[in-house]
Structure 1
Amino acid sequence: MKTVIYLLEASACTGLFYSFYFLFLRRLTFFTLNRWYLLVTLLLSFVIPKLQMPVEAPNVNVLKPVMYIQQMQRLEVNSLHINHKVVYEPGVAWVMVIKALYFTGALLLSIRLMIVLVIFCRKLNGKRLAQLGFVTVMQGDKSFGNSSFLNVVFINDEELDANEVKQILSHELLHVKLLHSVDRIIAWLARIVLWFNPFVYGYLRSIEENHEFEVDRIAAGNDEKGKYASLLLKLTVANQATIFQGFSKAPLKKRIYMLFNQPTSNMKKVIYVLVLPMVVISCLAFARFEHVQVNHKLNLKLSDGKRLRPDSVNPYRQKVKRTPGQIKGHAAFIAWTKSADYQAKVRAAEKLKNEIGTFKVVGSITSDNVFIKQGTLIQRDGKNYILGDNFGRDKDVHALLKPGDVIDIKPSSVLYGKNGPLVIQASFIKRDNVIIYEAKPEPAPDYAFLYEANRVRFADGVLTNVDRYPNGKWKTAIIAVNGYQIKFNVKPSAPEFDDIAQGDHVRFRFVHEVKTGAKEYTVNDWISISADVKDYGIKNPDFFFKFYEKI
């Protein structure tokens, strides 16, 4: 869905820019300016929808009072199945159908471009007429004559006198000198990407025409316009959309009109100034605006001394009632994190995690460390450490060791608290170069969701089965997690689910779930959904601020 939205936004940009050209610029004789307008705005149409534009917003800590109305939980009759498995029948996967059609069209145009390039390469083996610096002049024929591409010019001199050949050669050499082939390649690639967009065909046609207008005006000069027009009439061919610059492919009537048209007054160049508002409008309509919370009083530092950027701090936290003891304990912990003891333990833990270390077993120990009550005391370089049991999963590890053993440990994690030595959880242990212990893998979880401190449920799973209202907004979706299915319903007034698509791994928060099957739940009161566990993502305004507050 993200790709589809991007292509539609790029198409809308081309429509906006090309409409401006068609209405105001196409009749002007500023051919070089028109060339750059067409080329730059075509490229901008692909860039603008990808722009990320940060917008600073003050981090206001004052919350407006919110009134919450507790709604009764209910299920639609058709969604409740007793003693039966709930089967969700997904509708037609229109997104997949659209993608298949899009890639089919792009593939066909890509194949056509490849065929044209192969024909060009084969023509290079033909008769060479001349070498003019870096430009090669080749013998053309009825099907492939009087054209140019890159630094190769094809001349079909049948039924032409020397003066006419000279005019045609001068014309094509100007195309080569002005690098018109680069414009055509860009336009063709844009046509492949946006083949469904009618405006991209207008761009391709206008770029070709503008090339001819620009070269005709230079090649004909002021005194040879009549002869030049006669040559155009003599060599007129059907307009075939290829990547080559043909001498007489552009519409004859337009070329002769532009050839004899009076140059546009320089005063009208002011029209090009209006391009800037067009670019601004496109950015406002299609660029991505990221709201950055700014708190100028925030001055946090990481353990390595680096400052923590304000916009990297999650501006919300759980609403949790804390006892006076908990508040006091939290304050004490914050104070400890600013101490030298904390900094030293952070550095020591990072060093231990990155290497296999040799330790000596001292004996068993009973600890008041928050992470472990009993363990094995080990030493290294005169410092004490505690060997843990992987949070109670591998208690038999201590029976394998006896005082005096010299062991090699590969840590899987290193924990530390305010009191006591560092606690090492081992990935494996070697004695006499033989592995005597390897950590057991964590058992597969058998639950649909967990709880936060504020009693909000959260689940990490895959977003599937997105169903939509006729206007395209989400109606229902399913989070698949650990063999469970959590279906959640979305109101038509809910926010847009931007930057999240079917198949993404998401963190889903909710309350008031209703069990509808052995491993199935239905949720009406969802709180937030995010593809990044560090952020709350898309928030449901009806429930989010009941359980979370700004920091």
Structure 2
Amino acid sequence: MECLTYLLKVTACTVLFFGFYLLVLRKLTFFKINRFYLLATLLLSFIIPSLQLEVKREIKTMETEAPAKIPEIKPATPAPTQLIQPIMLEYQPEVRPQIDWMVVMYFIYVGTASLLLLACLWQLLGLLKHTGRYTKNSDGLKLISKSEGFTNCSFFNYVFINHEDLSTAGLLVLLKHEQVHANQYHSIDKIILMVFKAILWFNPIVYLYDKALEQVHEYEADEITSASFGNQAYASLLLQLAVTKTNNTLIHNFVKSPIKDRIKMLFYAKSNNMKKLIYLLALPVIVGLFWLFAVQVVYANKMVGLKHGGLLVQEGKILSTGTSSIKNVSGETISSGKNHQSALVTYKSAQVKSNQEVLTDTVKPKPVKPKIISYRKLRGDVRTKTYYIENAVIDIVNCRLEAGYVEFDKANNKILARNATLKTLDGKSTIKSTLFTFDLNKGSYSVENGESKIGVNINGAGHGRDFLIKLNDNIDYIAKDSVRISRDKSIVSLFGNAMLFYNEVKLSGSKIVYNRKDNRVLVNDATMISGDTKINADSLVFDIKTKKAKLYGADSNR
């Protein structure tokens, strides 16, 4: 999925860059600069989406009240009781295989790109087999006589000539033209475009890039050649050889590009040097694409703005009080000689005494509906609405449960799975245990070995766009809209009704950024819940390592 997203971003860059060339630069006669623009922007289209840059912004802090005591999470009752045994018939279901369309798309893309690269290599070998016998002239060109196939064309300093089509004067003009191609290394551009066309074979813009670059090559060679022989004589030779063409995309054919456009450009007025400033208009396009695809805004806060009765509070204890200077994290003095009240709130991890913990939420979750993918045997009890499944594969939101034995209590909406494995559908996170207990009404689960994720709102991930991913042993999150992970996987950004769970603490907001390197979580439009304590803030920074939170523009209620 990340590869597909990257290629779509590359395509968007090529569309904007080529659109700018088509509307602004195409009719300028600065052919070398146009050639550089086309190659550079095509390369930038691949570079910009691969970058991950951060821009830090400061958020103003506000003083507000915060509770002096943060309660610890209380453990709930242990795992549920054993369900009753089945009394109904058994039957063998039909197992239907599922198609992973993302994998199919991946193989189609790679297969097509590989075939195009092989075709390019085949054309190159077809050219090289004709380069064994040649005559070298004083300008360094290697002349090869050829009467069939591709003629009157060049590849690097190899020039393929059909003497039957050319007079002595025409041969001199053609050799001068092809010498310009060889001296400017235009064939390297052709090879680069062949590779780009193979990678972006689905993008029609890259084929327009190829056509535009070939046209610029011919304009540049025509300009230099016609300066030596005259526009009229040169235009006449173009018309004389206009019927000779070839389909080999690696060579420069003397008459392959549109003859009408080339002759018009010969007599077109040269652009004024002041018009070179027009190329500066490409800078806003480049900056805009950098900002859109490569820049991530990170909000940095400077000062803690919590207060509780004039006392500095940490873990429910008074740390300091009195009159002194207030400084922000950069060491700058905010105020001096005035009574100040601030707090740094720290959340202590509760001592877990059972396999099940419950996190209080202000919104009652909707029941989760599991999807049975396959099984070997299924039995049911109509009276109690309980089903017993062997070798079951069940999807719960975007997680997959694989268990040797499952008891599904449909009346109470609970699942008990033995000898089971729970993993995310992308296969990045896996939990194995002898016993899983799922409470689908609460959207939570617990395991016998003490590894617990109770309080994770699995129902919130029930929609197709949602995400429920395990970050590590203590952290889970859900995002309504999307999730972005940096290339080095050190920064995770959640967008749209985002929630992050760390042990007994629940953080929610419009955007959450989790930095694995410094173990900090930034939340915008933040809500923090622990037990029966709820704190709202404009933003907060939660330090996972020290279990301390800095809140800005905060208020609290119980």
Task: Determine which structure has the larger helix proportion and give its number.
Answer: 1
Report 1:291-440 matches (<5 A).
291=298, 293=300, 319-320=347-348
Corresponding residue of 1:240: 247
Shift of 1:142: 2.6
Corresponding residue of 1:55: 55
Corresponding residue of 2:39: 39
Q: Deviations over 1:489-548 (max 9, x none)?
A: 96xx724111289x99x9x964899xxxxxxxxxx99x9897958647797978666595
Q: What is the distance in 2 between the residues matched to 1:292 and 1:528? A: 11
Corresponding residue of 2:483: 497
The DSSP-based 3-state class of the residue aligned with 1:214 is helix
Q: What is the distance in 2 between the residues matched to 1:258 and 1:14? A: 26
State which drifts further: 3-12 or 221-230: 221-230
Conserved in 2, the CA contact under 8 Å of 1:239 and 1:251?
no
Say whether residues 1:220 and 2:226 are aligned partners: yes
Report 1:22-421 matches (<5 A).
22-58=22-58, 92-125=99-132, 127-132=133-138, 135-221=141-227, 224-236=230-242, 237-238=244-245, 240=247, 242-289=249-296, 291=298, 293=300, 319-320=347-348
Q: What is the distance in 2 between the residues matched to 1:512 and 1:131? A: 79
Q: What is the distance in 2 between the residues matched to 1:489 and 1:532? A: 14
Structure 2 residue runs without a partner (length 5+): 68-84, 305-328, 331-343, 352-431, 437-444, 456-460, 493-498, 532-541, 543-547, 551-558
Conserved in 2, the CA contact under 8 Å of 1:212 and 1:255?
yes
Structure 1 residue runs without a partner (length 5+): 68-81, 298-309, 324-443, 460-465, 483-487, 514-523
Q: Deviations over 1:141-177 (max 9, x none)?
A: 3312222222322222223111111111111110010
| Distance 1:512-1:57 versus aligned 2 partners, 3 A rule | closer
Shift of 1:62: 6.4
Conserved in 2, the CA contact under 8 Å of 1:220 and 1:228?
yes
The DSSP-based 3-state class of the residue aligned with 2:482 is coil
| Distance 1:137-1:533 versus aligned 2 partners, 3 A rule | same
Conserved in 1, the CA contact under 8 Å of 2:53 and 2:295?
yes
Shift of 1:281: 1.1
| Distance 1:290-1:248 versus aligned 2 partners, 3 A rule | same
| Distance 1:238-1:138 versus aligned 2 partners, 3 A rule | closer
Q: What is the distance in 1 between the residues matched to 2:302 and 2:96? A: 48
Conserved in 1, the CA contact under 8 Å of 2:349 and 2:503?
no
The total of aligned residue pairs comes to 369
The DSSP-based 3-state class of the residue aligned with 1:153 is strand
| Distance 1:250-1:239 versus aligned 2 partners, 3 A rule | farther
Q: What is the distance in 2 between the residues matched to 1:479 and 1:291? A: 23
| Distance 1:162-1:481 versus aligned 2 partners, 3 A rule | same
Task: Determine which structure has the larger strand proportion and give its number.
Answer: 2
Conserved in 1, the CA contact under 8 Å of 2:55 and 2:295?
no
Corresponding residue of 2:11: 11
Conserved in 1, the CA contact under 8 Å of 2:246 and 2:253?
no
Shift of 1:244: 1.3
Corresponding residue of 1:351: none
Q: Deviations over 1:120-143 (max 9, x none)?
A: 221112x31225465422223331
Letter in 1 for 2:253: G
| Distance 1:264-1:6 versus aligned 2 partners, 3 A rule | same
Q: What is the distance in 2 between the residues matched to 1:194 and 1:532? A: 34
Shift of 1:269: 2.3
Conserved in 1, the CA contact under 8 Å of 2:470 and 2:477?
no
Letter in 1 for 2:103: M
Conserved in 2, the CA contact under 8 Å of 1:458 and 1:510?
no
Shift of 1:13: 0.5
Shift of 1:287: 1.1
Q: Deviations over 1:62-109 (max 9, x none)?
A: 697899xxxxxxxxxxxxxx989xx99996533222212211221121
Letter in 1 for 2:251: F
Letter in 2 for 1:291: V
Shift of 1:289: 2.0
Conserved in 1, the CA contact under 8 Å of 2:38 and 2:209?
yes
Q: Name which structure has the greater RCO, CA cutoff 8 Å, separation 6+.
A: 2
Shift of 1:194: 0.9
Shift of 1:550: 3.1
The DSSP-based 3-state class of the residue aligned with 1:221 is helix
Letter in 2 for 1:171: H
| Distance 1:264-1:509 versus aligned 2 partners, 3 A rule | closer
| Distance 1:531-1:293 versus aligned 2 partners, 3 A rule | closer
Conserved in 2, the CA contact under 8 Å of 1:52 and 1:290?
no
Conserved in 2, the CA contact under 8 Å of 1:450 and 1:457?
yes
| Distance 1:61-1:134 versus aligned 2 partners, 3 A rule | farther
Conserved in 2, the CA contact under 8 Å of 1:50 and 1:288?
no
Q: What is the distance in 1 between the residues matched to 2:452 and 2:59? A: 25
Letter in 2 for 1:497: V
| Distance 1:35-1:317 versus aligned 2 partners, 3 A rule | farther
Conserved in 1, the CA contact under 8 Å of 2:165 and 2:241?
no
| Distance 1:132-1:47 versus aligned 2 partners, 3 A rule | farther
Q: What is the distance in 2 between the residues matched to 1:110 and 1:147? A: 23
Quote the RMSD (CA, aligned, Å). 5.0
Shift of 1:479: 6.1
Shift of 1:112: 0.9
Q: Percent identity?
A: 30
Q: Deviations over 1:425-446 (max 9, x none)?
A: xxxxxxxxxxxxxxxxxxx976
Q: Deviations over 1:169-209 (max 9, x none)?
A: 11111001011112222222111111111111111000000
TM-score under structure 1 normalisation? 0.56
Letter in 2 for 1:39: L
Corresponding residue of 1:550: 549
Q: Deviations over 1:451-508 (max 9, x none)?
A: 9xxx98499xxxxxx9863xxx33x6576999xxxxx996xx724111289x99x9x9
Q: Deviations over 1:307-339 (max 9, x none)?
A: xxx99xxxx99722799xxxxxxxxxxxxxxxx
Q: What is the distance in 1 between the residues matched to 2:521 and 2:147? A: 63
